[in-house]
Structure 1
Amino acid sequence: MTHSATMLRRNLRHALRYPSLTFGVALTPVIMLVMFAYLFGTALSAGVAGATGDVDYINFVVPGVLLMTLGAGSQTTAMSICGDMAEGIVARFRTMPITRTAVLTGQVVGSVILTMVSVVLVVAVGLAMGFRPTAGPGEWLAAIGLMVLMTIAITWLAVGLGLLSKAPEGAGNAAMPLSFFLPFLSTAFVPLETLPAGIRWFAEYQPYSPTIETLRGLLVGGPIGHHGWLSVAWAIVLAGAGYLWSRRLFNRDPVR
């Protein structure tokens, strides 16, 4: 834990040293929220009113943007760990008496902290734009817990992609599906019933959609059904798989 805390401090200092990259990651979901709520909100709300039960579109879209926020930091994480591997600092760490996985754990915990800061920013902007959650303290705690768990899962997958890539640019591109493609091919911006048949099938069975539906149920009310346990199961499976995959890649790659 001491070694992981040291690597966490290193990760957070890098974030403070390059604030433009940190703010860029935090502002991307905010820009998406403004675009979909203001530019496309009127047209989309009219098209999905029946499927959403006449829920205000801003209340419908904020949980989806929160999920996109969880994935937004994955590109930075993948690029950061790939850069460390390419620059040789990890080779130096390997010669020091520290726990090997502490290098990866520090990256993951730092990414989770920065992602939660972005979540607060998105919620604040959403409230200013008219987002009105009905959640009580228990629902908010459950929503935060689910977001932290899913962030851990996404981040460990991003670490594996960063270790697998040869250059930071390639690592960022490899992590792009986690931050953009999967959220758009989900129920983040439109209900499942309004999607074309092929995309509807994919959106229903991919891990992001049940997480979004669970967040909607917790924050703005409505049935959660099987989405609750399914989203938790997805997060645990992805986190475990990402951790084991990342640790294996890290241990078998002594030099870069």
Structure 2
Amino acid sequence: MSAVTQALADGAVVAKRNLIKIKRVPDLLVFSTLQPIMFVLLFAYVFGGSIDIPGMDYREFLMAGIFTQTVVFGATITGSGLADDMQKGVIDRFRSLPMARSAVLIGRTTSDLLNNVIVVVVMSLTGLVVGWRINSSFFEALAGFAILLLFAYSLSWGMAIVGLMVRSPEVFNNASFIVIFPLTFIANTFVQESKLPGVLKTFAEWNPVSAVTAAARELFGNTNPAFPPADVWSLRHPVLTTLIWVVVFLAVFVPLATRQYRKAVSR
């Protein structure tokens, strides 16, 4: 068996272990799905009436942003889970087993990707209840969900680096919140980026979260053809921009996460 095949097989075992943990502690899944439902209801019914998107129902504009925010926050589970395993000594037990070192990272990111799939399904049903509709073809909609999950998967490798560095779930949660919160709000997730002032507008236009959100809106058909084209290339070509970000994140974060894991287990 080749090294790559061995790593993938071992990663599948670790992913199964993480999914079994969710089954035994269902609170993990319950609360990770309740939060996005709360955001959908909150923005749709509380803020939706005061946010005007010309020519569009705000709920259709909103859902792509909620999807993006949710999968980004879902990616942080990778770092939190690794920090928890480091703190409890689980990683040390993995070291004693005849398994590929990369299997822990592969398994962790894969299981969290599957967790994100479940959350997205629940969110989609909630969105349909509050009035969101997909106005594109089946395959375009499928591509919309795929690009959200692919972006979250690439980001989870970055979260893995932080989780291996801090070695405490509490510290990781505080550290990730400082980064993730502005990324998801200084973007076109809940309002049009053109309505943001000065520097915030520029940041939002080149924010990868904005590209993912715009790509999802385009693929779900939740756009207004009467809107003028975006001012920047990244939002005029959001799907391509998102795929570029995914490739860059994986190219940078995967080797860095692997190196950080080796460093962490050698302490």
TM-score class, shorter-chain normalisation, is over 0.9
111-120 or 218-227: which moved more? Answer: 218-227
- C-alpha contact 1:71 1:178 (8 A) present in aligned 2: no
User: 2:19 matched to which residue of 1?
Assistant: 12
Distance in 1 of aligned mates of 2:25 and 2:204: 35
1:223-255, CA deviations, whole angstroms, 9 ceiling, x for partnerless residues? 773212111101121122221111010011225
Alignment partner for residue 228 of structure 1, among 239, 243, 246? 239
Query: In the alignment, what sits opposite 1:209?
Result: 210
Is the partner of 1:228 in helix, strand or coil? helix
CA distance in 1 between counterparts of 2:142 and 2:74 reads 22
Size of the aligned set, in residue pairs, is 250
Distance in 2, matches of 1:127 and 1:89, equals 41
Match of 2:31 among 14, 21, 24: 24
Instruction: After superposing the two structures, state which structure 1 stretch, 155-164 or 215-224, moved more.
Output: 215-224
Q: Is the 8 A contact 1:28 1:72 kept in 2?
A: no
Distance 2:127 2:178 in 1: 24
**CA distance 1:177–1:119, change in 2 (3 Å):** farther
Which sits farther off after the overlay, 172-181 or 182-191? 172-181
Name the counterpart of 2:159: 158
Cα 1:178–1:141, aligned 2, differ >3 Å: closer, same or farther?
farther
Contact 2:14 2:104 in 1 (8 A): yes
Q: Which residue does the alignment assign to 1:85?
A: 86
**1:66/1:122 contact within 8 Å kept:** yes
Post-superposition offset of 1:122: 0.8
Equivalence map 1:47-62=2 (5 Å): 48-49=53-54, 54-62=55-63
TM-score where L is the length of structure 2: 0.89
Q: What's the CA shift for 1:178?
A: 5.7
- Number of the residue aligned with 1:247: 258
Instruction: Provide the C-alpha distance between the structure 1 equivalents of 2:76 and 2:265, rounded to a whole number of angstroms.
Output: 23
Q: Deviations along 1:139-168, whole A, 9 cap, x unmatched?
A: 022212211210111211111110011311
Partners in 1 of 2:188 and 2:69 — Cα distance? 11
Q: Which residue of structure 1 aligns with residue 175 of structure 2?
A: 174
CA–CA separation in structure 2 for the residues paired with 1:55 and 1:207 = 23
Give the superposed CA RMSD.
1.6
Aligned to 1:138: 139
User: What pairs with 1:87-106 in structure 2 (closer than 5 Å)?
Assistant: 87-106=88-107
2:41 aligned residue (18, 34, 51) = 34
% identical equivalent positions:
28
Deviation at 1:134, TM superposition (A): 0.5
Aligned twin of 2:231: none
Q: Which amino acid aligns with 1:23?
A: V
